[in-house]
Amino acid sequence: MAAKRQTRAPVFAALGDETRLALVAKLCGGRPCSISQLTRGSKLTRQAITKHLRVLESAGVVHSIRMGRESRFEFDPQPLEGIRKYLDFVSEQWDQALSRLTSFVED
Amino acid sequence: MAAKRQTRAPVFAALGDETRLALVAKLCGGRPCSISQLTRGSKLTRQAITKHLRVLESAGVVHSIRMGRESRFEFDPQPLEGIRKYLDFVSEQWDQALSRLTSFVED
DNA sequence: CTAATATGCAACCTGGAGGTTGCTTAAGAT
DNA sequence: ATCTTAAGCAACCTCCAGGTTGCATATTAG
């Protein structure tokens, strides 16, 4: 549990940027995209986008496959499920705290 | 939707740090804590913890109430629900993409 | 073969994140 | 009244995230 927590912060951090959220939103549509494709429509440089993609890749949110002269990036859902579990945990803790408070007041 | 997306990245970013994840884990237990209480058990300075708390507060994950000479921090669940919605959206997009791929292969 | 496209690599810049120390002020405790 | 504990404020430091430009390399198109 503590070990798992150490692996969640980087995933959250990877999503803590508007540009990267936009990339994830595009890639979770299913069709793998090259760097150039992902750069079109953004005001940033190709290298900036590349760096963002590497951050997402390090967090495991995305992976790349070299296809000829282009490298295609594809979405990877596992890490997102991981942090969803964490949110579930927090939510549950909170709900239990609220119930305890309620039953205490009712005494 | 685009407006809402602009407000999610800061929440993800606020959770993108081990120290802050630990603070959230403590506070979601229900009982509000003072800065000194939250500092005990951490290897960091009180000021460092304070800064982290302010980050969480700016993201809306937490709020503080001044009680006498101490300021108590309490968990706030709404922003977390917000990013959970985002994860649901991404997940759904991905699942739909998988179904489309499957039905295409089956043709 | 040559031109164009897609990417990689490296240097460089700037700002802010994360952390510390030192000092001040407010509020309880004795 | 005094001591102690809680917190705020500000200056300062270091390091890395995010972005750019410039150049080199691989692959596809004509």
**What pLDDT does B99 receive?**
87
What does the pLDDT look like over B57-100, one tens digit per residue? 999 999 999 999 999 999 999 999 999 999 999 999 999 999 88
Tell how far CA A79 is from the center of its chain: 7
Is 90 exceeded by the pLDDT of residue A105? no
pLDDT-above-70 percentage for chain A: 90
CATH ID of B2-106, from 2.60.40.10, 1.10.10.10, 1.10.150.120, 3.10.105.10? 1.10.10.10
Domains of chain A, residue spans: 2-106
Look at B75 and A96 and tell me if their CB atoms are within 8 Å. Answer: no
Question: pLDDT, tens digit, for every residue of A18-44?
Answer: 999 999 999 999 999 999 999 998 999
B6 close to B53: Cβ distance less than 8 angstroms? no
Name residue A1's amino acid. M
Are B64 and B50 in contact by the 8 Å Cβ rule? The answer is no
Return the residue in B8, B28, B58, B101 with the most chain A beta carbons within 10 A, the one to mutate for interface testing: B28
Contacts of B11 (CB under 8 A, 6+ apart): B59, B60, B61, B79, B80, B82, B83
